[in-house]
Amino acid sequence: MSEKKSFYITTTLPYVNAEPHIGFAMEIIHADIIARFKKLNGFDVFFNTGTDEHGQKVYQMALAEGKGPQEYVDELADKFEILKLDLRLSNDLHFIRTTEEPHKNAAQEFWKLCEKAGDIYKKEYKIRYCVGCELEKTDSEIENGHCIIHPHIELEIREEENYFFKLSKYAPKLLELYDKNPDFVVPDFRLNEMRALIGRGLEDFSISRLKEKMPWGVDVPGDDKHVMYVWFDALVNYISTIGWPEDMENFNKYWPVVQFAGKDQVRQQVVMWQAMLMSAGLPPSRQIVIHGFINYEGQKMSKSLGNVVSPQEIITEYGLDALRYFVARELNQFEDTDISREKLKIAYNANLANGLGNLVSRIMQLAETNLDKPVEITEWEDMSEFFAILDKYCVKEAADYVWSKIGELDKEIQEKKPWESKDKEVISGLVAKLYSIARMLNPFMFETSTKIKELIKANKKPSEPLFLRKD
């Protein structure tokens, strides 16, 4: 028996300064869809997510609530763990926390390798710093004196002595990586943005903070006055979670990784992290898939505006598979999407209640009434066209493909009018095609997929609608 191929996929680690919202749910559901698809195709899948728990934002929020940083992150990490259960993510999902000792040890070992390579040095510096991003901001990232991603947060002017990483040294090697791997970033226009960034000149970035000013972080090896800058620490999770540096057998089994991330993470994932890997003598990531933002009625979601939509809220109103449908098909995967509660309801009624749900009821009513026994379903079916879309990590395109098949099947029913002809061969063909749709739905809406398959195997119509219409 041949050994399974390995596949490693990860989300970014959400920062635990707020409860999880629909934006992160989109990222982790997209990754879960790919993880399930790969597992169904025989891969040994390692699926990673977790929580990023160090840095100034966390430290300030903990102080504001009168809590110690560890107590504060423990409470919020629990909420992200609960989200894993609420979304019923793949049961082999690994959840890493950057406050765990194995990760902190790995971050320190990684630092030592970069230092040994001559890529870490100390200097005085003055920057414009966004606490929201936990990043220095350049002129192109500032608009009207504020960070373009966090316009409501005042930029801080910082001046102190820190350790720096020689990012500028890796510009040629990064461009060489991109040239050799033109599909390194999905969609490709995000890679072009990074080429342009490198063309304007890369600047070395700070990788430590003075402990007396901000003590919440991983200690810098050999210097008890500094802790690691949160980005340097957090990025190492992608390798610490698969055992690096202690379990190199497991690391070599799964690395390199496919990373899912938001558009505010392109520089960190595509430039900074890849340069850090080069410095440490490790292979680059396999691919990086970048999604857009979700806005609510034309505005970025934020707690201060009171327009944050939680995944649990949608699950309560519509059900888990409806949430997974919304995320997979109704959101633009690679650009920003504007949502509202009314848009969600319209999509649910049109494509689930009146669409898929009604189709299943009609076909299985015909089958139960006119067929003597369940339709025999072939074990093997050529789905190479559908698989090829998911192999490119194009989740929305794959979901649209499934709904195109739903539309074709609905059209076939209208044209053949099997309720009039009672033609068993026609009805059996409709049932077989419905089973194909259930197979394709498995990575997206596994509960619905299972229900449809069970109805077909029992040759029964649903006792109640799969999706109740919302008024």
* Tens digits of residue pLDDT in 43-86: 999 999 999 999 888 888 899 999 999 999 998 888 888 888 88
Q: Which of 439, 461, 450 is nearest to 371 (CA)?
A: 461
Edge-to-edge strand list for the sheet holding 258-262: 93-97, 44-51, 6-11, 258-262, 287-291, 185-186
Q: Which two tokens stand for residue 384?
A: 């190479």
Which residue ranges make up each domain of the chain? 341-458
Mean pLDDT of 130-149: 78
Residue-wise pLDDT for 95-111, tens only, equals: 999 999 999 999 999 99
Q: Provide the pLDDT for residue 304.
A: 55
E-only strand ranges, 145-303: 146-147, 156-165, 185-186, 205-206, 208-210, 219-220, 223-228, 258-262, 287-291, 294-296, 299-300
Q: Provide the pLDDT for residue 420.
A: 95
Q: Give alpha helix (H) positions in 371-417.
A: 384-391, 395-416
Percent of the chain at pLDDT above 90? 76
Q: Provide the pLDDT for residue 1.
A: 45
For residues 268-290, b (16+ Cβ closer than 10 Å) or e, as one string? bbbbbbbbbbbbbebebbebbbb
pTM of the shown model: 0.91
Q: Which fold has domain 341-458?
A: Isoleucyl-tRNA Synthetase; Domain 1 (1.10.730)
Q: At residue 34, what are phi and psi to the nearest 5 degrees?
A: -70, -40
- The angle formed by the CA atoms of residues 16, 327 and 361, to the nearest 5 degrees, is 140
Which residue pairs, CB below 8 angstroms and at least 24 apart, start in 298-305? 298/338, 301/21, 301/22, 301/23, 302/152, 303/18, 304/152
Q: Provide the pLDDT for residue 455.
A: 98
Distance in angstroms (rounded) separating the CA atoms of residues 411 and 417 = 10
Report whether 10 contacts 260 (CB < 8 A): yes
Q: Which of 255, 280, 454, 471 is nearest to 360 (CA)?
A: 454
Distance in angstroms (rounded) separating the CA atoms of residues 143 and 182 = 31
Neighbours of 87 (CB within 10 A): 21
Mean pLDDT of 171-181: 98
Question: Tokens 């009805």 map to which residue?
Answer: 427
Name 235's Cβ contacts closer than 8 Å, sequence gap at least 6: 268, 269, 272, 273, 276
DSSP letters along 65-121, please?
Answer: TT--HHHHHHHHHHHHHHHHHHTT--TTEEEEETTSHHHHHHHHHHHHHHHHTT-EE
Mean pLDDT of 194-215: 94
Task: Give the distance, in angstroms, between the CA of residue 255 and the centroid of all CA atoms in the same chain.
Answer: 18
Residue 152 scores a pLDDT above 80: no
Mean pLDDT of 252-269: 96
303: confidence class by pLDDT, cuts 50, 70, 90 = low
Instruction: Classify 355 as helix, strand or coil.
Output: helix
Mean pLDDT computed over every residue of the chain: 93
Residue-wise pLDDT for 345-382, tens only, equals: 999 999 999 999 999 999 999 999 999 999 999 888 99
For residues 122-151, b (16+ Cβ closer than 10 Å) or e, as one string? eeeeebbbbbbbbbbbeeebeeeebbebbe
Q: At residue 163, what are phi and psi to the nearest 5 degrees?
A: -80, 145
**For residue 49, what is the enclosing H or E element?**
strand 44-51
Mean pLDDT of 265-283: 98
Question: Tokens 């350790």 map to which residue?
Answer: 163
Distance in angstroms (rounded) separating the CA atoms of residues 97 and 462 = 43
Neighbours of 185 (CB within 10 A): 24
Residue 309 has what DSSP assignment? P
What radius of gyration, in Å, describes the C-alpha atoms of the chain? 25
Q: Provide the pLDDT for residue 306.
A: 66
